[in-house]
């Protein structure tokens, strides 16, 4: 559910999928999604390798990252809900699009690797789900792969929706509803992370 809410919240990833699906078509959008998912795996690997070394030296780093994750989730939740003040700010459809398979994959990959939300999720949230006593590196990679799979599945659903009902999705009322739902969901995730006991 955490990975799903993170994927749904309006941001670079959602905007990229909408752009590619509406402007370049579903096939190109799906290739961009594969590039985006590759970026998630790269962030997960970086998190697993870096955090394993850091936590071995400093257990306090776990709590620092935990509360950094809470703060960032609250920030993006408030930012998402604040965007409801404007009818047209929920989804930004401006940006790069691509018509070839290779460049579409590259657009998806670059979109994710420059996405601060993905970086913070990989560094501050993925480790929270690794059970106590379980190998941190292995656990982060398992959950990182699950995150990439959930994200890819949601974006494929989004592309299917665009393919069938792009006019419906383009309605400001629909986009505002998606924005509100994702903002509230992220706020609930922040509360859950703040109240959860340390592993």
Question: How do residues 59-105 score in pLDDT, each as one tens digit?
Answer: 676 677 667 767 766 876 787 677 677 655 444 444 545 567 888 89
Percent of the chain whose predicted confidence (pLDDT) is above 90: 16
CA-based nearest residue to 92, from 29, 15, 6: 15
pLDDT for the residue 31: 92
Cα separation, 179 vs 175, whole angstroms = 6
List all residues 6 or more positions away from 150 whose beta carbon is below 8 Å from its beta carbon.
Answer: 3, 4, 7
Cα separation, 104 vs 155, whole angstroms = 15
Q: What is the pTM of this model?
A: 0.67
Q: How far is CA 29 from CA 7, 34, 56, 187, in A?
A: 15, 9, 41, 29
CA-based nearest residue to 198, from 42, 64, 96: 64
| Mean pLDDT of the 143-155 span | 93
Instruction: Work out the pLDDT band at 195, boundaries 50, 70, 90.
Output: confident
């Amino acid at each position: 559910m955490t990975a799903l809410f993170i994927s749904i919240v309006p941001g670079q990833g959602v905007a990229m999928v909408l752009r590619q699906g509406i402007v370049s078509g579903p096939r190109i959008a799906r290739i961009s999604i594969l590039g985006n998912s590759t970026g998630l795996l790269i962030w997960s690997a970086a998190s697993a390798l870096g955090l394993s070394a850091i936590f071995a030296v400093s257990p306090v780093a776990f709590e620092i990252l935990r509360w950094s994750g809470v703060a960032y989730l609250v920030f993006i939740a408030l930012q998402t809900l604040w965007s409801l003040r404007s009818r047209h700010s929920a989804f930004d459809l401006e940006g790069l699009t691509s018509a070839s398979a290779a460049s579409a994959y590259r657009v998806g990959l670059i979109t994710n690797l420059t996405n601060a939300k993905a970086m913070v999720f990989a560094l501050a949230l993925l480790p929270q789900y690794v059970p106590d006593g379980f190998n941190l590196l292995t656990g982060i990679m398992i959950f990182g792969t699950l995150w990439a799979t959930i994200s890819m599945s949601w974006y494929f659903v989004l592309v299917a929706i665009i393919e069938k009902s792009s006019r419906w999705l383009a309605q400001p009322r629909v986009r505002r509803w998606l924005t509100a739902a994702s903002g509230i969901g992220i706020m609930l995730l922040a509360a859950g992370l703040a109240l959860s006991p340390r592993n």
